[in-house]
Amino acid sequence: MLKIDSTEQLLRVAALVSAVIAVLILIWYLLVRPPLGRSTKIVLLFGLGVMPLATSLAGNISGFEYTLQRSFCGSCHVMLPYTQDAADPTSHSLAAIHSRNRAFGEESCYTCHADYQMFGTMTTKLNGLRHLYYYITEYANTGPYGEGGKPIHMYKPFQNAMCTRCHSTEAPRWGKVDDHAAALDDIRKGDTKCIDCHSGEVIHPRAFAHGGNGRAPARTASNAAPAGAAKE
């Protein structure tokens, strides 16, 4: 029995069903050749208009939903140092800890990096096209984890608002952290950045830009969480 676990899968099924209905209507008309009366025209309207439109709409939205997933980001090999660490259940990096959040874990890349301004979804997807351009022109022939390519960096500084969407600075547990309490006003105003303390090597330790080698560190019994990492 078909199991549907996500909106993306539901939209894929809807697109497929709409396409099948459109094809069946066209086959029926070509084989039966019924009189071109009102009822036949209505059926053809569905076969030539409504169902293809539904296929296109559901297919496009399904594709958009897929681009929200961390697995989509990891489909480019240069992102593997980021996505494999985020998916690692033994990793103590901030990316991995956030990716274990049941509310958005499978979409952690998009959730933490998307621009949430008025046209944020549009600008985020346009930036995705920039990613594709740089991938083709600068990273396509790099090593399995992007070795040999330029260090990957963000297009603009990471803003506190990306964090305070969830970490509102109002939670008692958050306020009990001495560094948070001491810099509360500056954090809210943006004068002190979250990443000033939770820096790149703590968020994405495997990234070449932060001193990593793309791969997971050797595991030992004494592995401990890196300094600056948040507790789960």
Q: Are 54 and 91 contained in the same domain?
A: no
Q: Are 59 and 97 contained in the same domain?
A: no
Tens-of-pLDDT digits for all 232 residues of the chain?
566 777 888 899 999 999 999 999 999 999 999 999 999 999 999 999 999 999 999 999 998 888 889 999 999 999 999 999 999 999 999 999 999 998 888 899 988 888 765 566 777 777 888 888 989 999 989 999 999 998 888 888 888 988 998 898 999 999 899 999 999 999 999 899 999 999 989 999 999 999 999 988 876 544 555 545 554 4
Q: Is residue 227 part of a domain?
A: no
- What pLDDT sits at residue 230? 52
Rounded to whole angstroms, the Cα distance separating 105 from 96 reads 9
Handedness of CA 72, 75, 79, 85 (dihedral sign): positive
Q: Look at residues 101, 92, 46 and name the one whose alpha carbon lies nearest to residue 70.
A: 101
Q: Are 199 and 96 contained in the same domain?
A: yes
Q: Is residue 180 part of a domain?
A: no
Domain that holds residue 204: 73-158+193-210
Q: Are 42 and 129 contained in the same domain?
A: no
Secondary structure (DSSP) of the chain = -----SHHHHHHHHHHHHHHHHHHHHHHHHHH-----HHHHHHHHIIIIIHHHHHHHHHHHHHHHHHTSHHHHTTSGGGHHHHHHHH-TT--SHHHHHHT-TTTGGGHHHHHHS--STTHHHHHHHHHHHHHHHIIIIITTS-TT-TTSPPP--SSPPPTHHHHTT--S--HHHHTSHHHHHTHHHHHHTSS-HHHHS-HHHH-TT-GGGT--SSPPPP-TT--PPTTPPP-
- CA–CA distance from 5 to each of 12, 35, 57, 118, 154 (Å)? 12, 43, 20, 29, 32
Q: Are 113 and 198 contained in the same domain?
A: yes
Handedness of CA 15, 16, 21, 23 (dihedral sign): positive
The count of domains in the chain is: 2
Q: Are 63 and 98 contained in the same domain?
A: no
Secondary structure (DSSP) of 74-92 = TTSGGGHHHHHHHH-TT--
Q: Are 199 and 86 contained in the same domain?
A: yes
- What pLDDT sits at residue 117? 59
Q: Is residue 225 part of a domain?
A: no
Q: Is residue 177 part of a domain?
A: no
Q: Are 79 and 142 contained in the same domain?
A: yes
Q: Are 148 and 199 contained in the same domain?
A: yes
Q: Are 123 and 81 contained in the same domain?
A: yes
Q: Are 26 and 90 contained in the same domain?
A: no
- What pLDDT sits at residue 219? 63
216: Cβ contacts below 8 Å, ≥ 6 apart? 84, 85, 88, 91, 206
Q: Is residue 26 part of a domain?
A: yes
- What pLDDT sits at residue 147? 92
Name the pTM for this structure: 0.76
Q: Which of 67, 87, 106 is the last residue of a domain?
A: 67
Q: Are 80 and 124 contained in the same domain?
A: yes
Q: Look at residues 64, 58, 51 and name the one whose alpha carbon lies nearest to residue 25.
A: 51
